[in-house]
Structure 1
Amino acid sequence: MNQQKQNGNVIAIVTMFFLFAMISFVTNLAAPFGTIWKNQYAGANTLGMMGNMMNFLAYLFMGIPAGNMLVKIGYKKTALTAIAVGFIGLLIQYLSSLFGADTDVFALGEYAIKLNFIIYLLGAFVCGFSVCMLNTVVNPMLNLLGGGGNKGNQLIQTGGALNSLSGTLTPLFVGVLIGTVTPNTAMSDVAPLLFIAMGVFAFTFIVISFVSIPEPHMRKKGETVKEEKFSHSPWNFRHTVLGVFCIFVYVGIEIGIPGTLNFYLADPTERGAGLLTDGAAIGGAIAAIYWLLMLVGRLTSSIISGKVSSRTQLIVASATAIIFILIAIFTPKEVTISMPGYSADNGFQMASVPLSALFLVLCGLCTSVMWGGIFNLAVEGLGKYTAQASGIFMMMVVGGGIFPLLQQFISDSLGYMPSYWLIIAMLAYLLYYGLIGCKNVNKDIPVD
């Protein structure tokens, strides 16, 4: 019996690893897909980032309800619901490649918004609900399957590594499929990726349906739980309130840096001399390096975190990222460097890109450690209010949609590199939080 249970746990763990990877895969589809849509709307970066915006907007509506689902229907049913919703979201995105391209819905300034674009945005929004639920499920489920403690944490770290690896491969695959973006490039060109994602979701749904998952926190049928009334809330802690906004800002930084870089390298009017013609493929390959460096940063942080505090890591990472982006902004685009790229004719090879791209990619090492550092500092000393704060943090992931959209609005008006001044301002806030804002000045509030 024990052997059978152990085998079931192994299957469940592997399945959770797949879901961890799918979270990053589905999320990171939005930015490279945006290069297709922005080209169809005459280079409008703001419209190109709308899919990303819709994906993250879902967190604002689903953050707290997803946590409630764990209590009411359990981890397994919540995971199955999330997978089904994700499958539907991907299917809707695929449908945007089949019809609606010739149907105008409404005018937005100089642009006539097509029905296929609206369908795509709906699919991105539905996928956002799925990813939010999966984020709520996967971490605690892996911890449970590992039995908690060091083993549970080890499984979460392994899942996080797969999440980063998936984030690395997604923009690369999209770039390879679409190569050079032309007015004829459409969602149908990336349909294979959508089919792969739907296939993995369908397979995972079937596997989880037959796997037993522990449900220690689900309320039993007929059970009534008296809700404890708290005299305060996370909003009464200054360092938590500042930390909530910090998470809001951080996710915008993490998504905005590679997202705008992808657009920049895919734009034939902005590339430095000597850059290969397959701009979308190159942009995808180089954006992939950013996510790969995030993987390296996370692994490094897991090694040094026992000796280096979260506060120190956040301060150093924020200050270093500011320096990298300042260099990127002030380096002329004519100054180039060779980085791994892709050509439809010659496959993978070294490509000449603006030196600015290198420093933007290096920011992946910095952003990799920020989420954990901010979260740890923001919940320090919260005690019984920590669970409430966690739901609020999940809602604030919506910043990954709002700030990149704002950055694209700036890039439409002023250019790609000037738009990174917004990122510097956001990083400056993270630096302030690490230096001053993270201090708990409300220790008089009882938390036991």
Structure 2
Amino acid sequence: METTKQNRTVPIIMMILLFGMISFVTNLAAPMGVVVKSQFEASNFLGMLGNFANFLAYAFMGIPSGKLLEKVGYKKTALIGIAMGFVGVGIQFLSGIAESFTVYLLGAFVAGFSMCTLNTVVNPMLNTLGGGGKKGNQLIQVGGSFNSLMGTMVPMLVGILIGEVTKSTAIPDINPVMFIAMGIFALVGIVLAFVHIPEPHVEHVEGADNGDSIWSYSHLVMGVIGIFIYVGIEIGVPGTMMLFLADANAGGLDASTAGFVAGTYWFLMLIGRFTGASIGGKVSSKTMLTVVSAVGMGLVFMAIISPITSTAAIPVVKTTATGGLGFGVADVPISAMYLVLVGLCTSIMWGGIFNLAVEGLGKKVAAASGIFMTMVVGGGILPLIQNAVADNMGYMASYWVPFIGLAYLLFYALVGSKVKKRADGLVID
């Protein structure tokens, strides 16, 4: 036990770095929709297919990744995920050379296998190293802060590279982003190969291990549904917003500015996760999830009912005259302002849902993590549904999809997360 405590710092740092890698590659898919839509003259629905392919992989890899984690441990599972990620991004790079939409989708799908595998590692490990409960949630929020930092960078980088002339944009124009992603995979993979990673979920976890089916825990089942919905909201809100803002007939902004506005959403997620990390040891996951779900519903509702002709000047992270990054102001439809603010709400949802859902599972946490990863496919399905609605009913009407999802998360926080007395005597209040 003492050895594990002494070695916690390095594993925590490595898991936080992996959290960032997950965000960098995952959040590349949505802004890529603008590029794909331009190069192949596609609809919003087709533009989000790369994002769908990325998350579809979770449906295939979620449970196997959980079993892999149980069999070979954190370190080997992470290294396998890193290798798959390098290959996946490499295929997306080759799709630009081949000028093939199909190859691009294949690369996004392979990258999704990697993201699923890495997610299976980082969440239970950070939660366990934090000791579960409020401290476990707090550590996940710290990892999520770095996750948001990387997520902030991606749409901005894509926006800078594709610039204002969207019609001439093609996949090779964003090759530098691909190179950065592959470089991150290579660097962290080499470092991780030489770092000792303890296996705390195997060595020191106490709790439920009574042979019951993992599906017999109602709070887990509802939490699994919550993860499906949450990831769909997190990806759908900024992804559809970027398409909306870059559409000449809707938001009317150039793609570069649209990318910075979407990046500001992820920047607010960074701020929210820093805040969540600072108060996570004092405020319960239930309280945090209740508040952000309710506020998120209000913001999305305001975005839906506000006329897109009304504008607001909002601060955004953007390029300066010298080519660096700084803060500036962008005039956007007021609906976009409300949607950007949703980033503050989605920032702490993942840790809260995961923490509530695995409470009391003990040695079943690794298996539960694999199930959670399967349901991350919601990040591909819900945005696809949302953009199908956008194609037929308009961009703002499509936001009823995340609104309904937020209503479910509010219900989960208030009612569904409570574990009632079971026949085997397990009680968690």
Q: TM-score, normalised by structure 2?
A: 0.87
User: For the residues of structure 2 that align with 1:45 and 1:218, how far apart are their CA atoms?
Assistant: 45
Which moves more between the two structures, 426-435 or 171-180? 426-435
Q: Answer yes or no: is 1:423 the counterpart of 2:402.
A: yes
The answer to whether the 8 A contact 1:381-1:443 is kept is no
Query: Structure 2 counterpart of 1:47, which letter?
Result: L
**What's 1:194 paired with?**
178
Say if 1:306 and 1:42 are closer, same or farther in 2 by CA, change over 3 A: same
**What's 2:28 paired with?**
29
Say if 1:295 and 1:179 are closer, same or farther in 2 by CA, change over 3 A: same
User: For the residues of structure 1 that align with 2:124 and 2:408, how far apart are their CA atoms?
Assistant: 30
**What's 1:104 paired with?**
none
Q: Answer yes or no: is 1:255 the counterpart of 2:235.
A: yes
User: For the residues of structure 2 that align with 1:290 and 1:316, how far apart are their CA atoms?
Assistant: 19
Q: Answer yes or no: is 1:438 the counterpart of 2:420.
A: no
User: For the residues of structure 2 that align with 1:445 and 1:318, how far apart are their CA atoms?
Assistant: 33
Q: Which has the larger Rg?
A: 1
**What's 2:85 paired with?**
86
Query: Structure 2 counterpart of 1:56, which letter?
Result: F
Say if 1:33 and 1:297 are closer, same or farther in 2 by CA, change over 3 A: same
**What's 1:239 paired with?**
219
- CA displacement at 1:397 relative to structure 2: 0.8
Select which of 155, 158, 178 maps to 2:162.
178
User: For the residues of structure 1 that align with 2:289 and 2:44, how far apart are their CA atoms?
Assistant: 30
Say if 1:135 and 1:239 are closer, same or farther in 2 by CA, change over 3 A: closer
- CA displacement at 1:143 relative to structure 2: 7.1
Query: Structure 2 counterpart of 1:325, which letter?
Result: V
**What's 1:269 paired with?**
249
**What's 1:98 paired with?**
97
User: For the residues of structure 1 that align with 2:133 and 2:411, how far apart are their CA atoms?
Assistant: 33
Query: Structure 2 counterpart of 1:280, which letter?
Result: A
Say if 1:302 and 1:207 are closer, same or farther in 2 by CA, change over 3 A: closer
User: For the residues of structure 2 that align with 1:56 and 1:205, how far apart are their CA atoms?
Assistant: 22
Query: Structure 2 counterpart of 1:249, which letter?
Result: I
User: For the residues of structure 1 that align with 2:280 and 2:137, how far apart are their CA atoms?
Assistant: 13
Secondary structure of the structure 1 residue equivalent to 2:174: helix
Say if 1:394 and 1:187 are closer, same or farther in 2 by CA, change over 3 A: same
**What's 1:3 paired with?**
none
**What's 2:276 paired with?**
301
Secondary structure of the structure 2 residue equivalent to 1:97: helix
Query: Structure 2 counterpart of 1:265, which letter?
Result: L
Which moves more between the two structures, 304-313 or 201-210? 304-313
**What's 2:368 paired with?**
389
The answer to whether the 8 A contact 1:382-1:447 is kept is no
**What's 2:290 paired with?**
315
Aligned-CA RMSD value: 3.1
Secondary structure of the structure 1 residue equivalent to 2:251: coil
User: For the residues of structure 2 that align with 1:150 and 1:376, how far apart are their CA atoms?
Assistant: 8
User: For the residues of structure 2 that align with 1:373 and 1:366, how far apart are their CA atoms?
Assistant: 11
Secondary structure of the structure 2 residue equivalent to 1:352: strand
User: For the residues of structure 2 that align with 1:207 and 1:387, how far apart are their CA atoms?
Assistant: 24
**What's 1:110 paired with?**
none
**Percent of aligned pairs with the same amino acid:** 57
* Count of matched residue pairs: 415
Say if 1:329 and 1:149 are closer, same or farther in 2 by CA, change over 3 A: closer
Q: Answer yes or no: is 1:373 the counterpart of 2:352.
A: yes
- CA displacement at 1:425 relative to structure 2: 1.3
- 1:12-42 deviation per Cα after TM superposition (whole angstroms, max 9, x unaligned): 6654443221111000000001111122343
- CA displacement at 1:217 relative to structure 2: 6.3
**What's 1:117 paired with?**
101
Query: Structure 2 counterpart of 1:160, which letter?
Result: G
The answer to whether the 8 A contact 1:89-1:125 is kept is yes
The answer to whether the 8 A contact 1:145-1:214 is kept is no
Secondary structure of the structure 2 residue equivalent to 1:212: coil
User: For the residues of structure 2 that align with 1:375 and 1:170, how far apart are their CA atoms?
Assistant: 25
User: For the residues of structure 1 that align with 2:137 and 2:349, how far apart are their CA atoms?
Assistant: 18
- CA displacement at 1:356 relative to structure 2: 0.9
Which moves more between the two structures, 181-190 or 202-211? 202-211
Q: Answer yes or no: is 1:205 the counterpart of 2:189.
A: yes
Say if 1:293 and 1:131 are closer, same or farther in 2 by CA, change over 3 A: same
User: For the residues of structure 2 that align with 1:381 and 1:150, how far apart are their CA atoms?
Assistant: 13
Say if 1:188 and 1:415 are closer, same or farther in 2 by CA, change over 3 A: same
Query: Structure 1 counterpart of 2:65, which letter?
Result: A
Secondary structure of the structure 2 residue equivalent to 1:180: coil
Query: Structure 2 counterpart of 1:65, which letter?
Result: P
Superposed, 1:153-168 pairs within 5 Å as 157-168=141-152
User: For the residues of structure 1 that align with 2:236 and 2:274, how far apart are their CA atoms?
Assistant: 22
Query: Structure 2 counterpart of 1:418, which letter?
Result: A
Secondary structure of the structure 1 residue equivalent to 2:144: helix
Which moves more between the two structures, 179-188 or 141-150? 141-150
- CA displacement at 1:159 relative to structure 2: 3.0
User: For the residues of structure 2 that align with 1:13 and 1:317, how far apart are their CA atoms?
Assistant: 26
The answer to whether the 8 A contact 2:78-2:118 is kept is yes
Which ranges of structure 2 fall in alignment gaps of 5 or more residues?
A: 1-5, 204-208
Secondary structure of the structure 2 residue equivalent to 1:353: strand
**What's 1:289 paired with?**
264
Q: TM-score, normalised by structure 1?
A: 0.83
- CA displacement at 1:365 relative to structure 2: 1.1
**What's 1:359 paired with?**
338
- 1:269-328 deviation per Cα after TM superposition (whole angstroms, max 9, x unaligned): 1126xx5xxx22112111111111112222222333444332222222112111111111
- CA displacement at 1:352 relative to structure 2: 1.3
User: For the residues of structure 1 that align with 2:156 and 2:46, how far apart are their CA atoms?
Assistant: 22
- CA displacement at 1:139 relative to structure 2: 4.2
Which ranges of structure 1 fall in alignment gaps of 5 or more residues?
A: 1-5, 102-115, 220-227
Select which of 320, 334, 337 maps to 2:312.
337
- CA displacement at 1:148 relative to structure 2: 9.5
User: For the residues of structure 1 that align with 2:225 and 2:8, how far apart are their CA atoms?
Assistant: 37
Say if 1:358 and 1:346 are closer, same or farther in 2 by CA, change over 3 A: farther
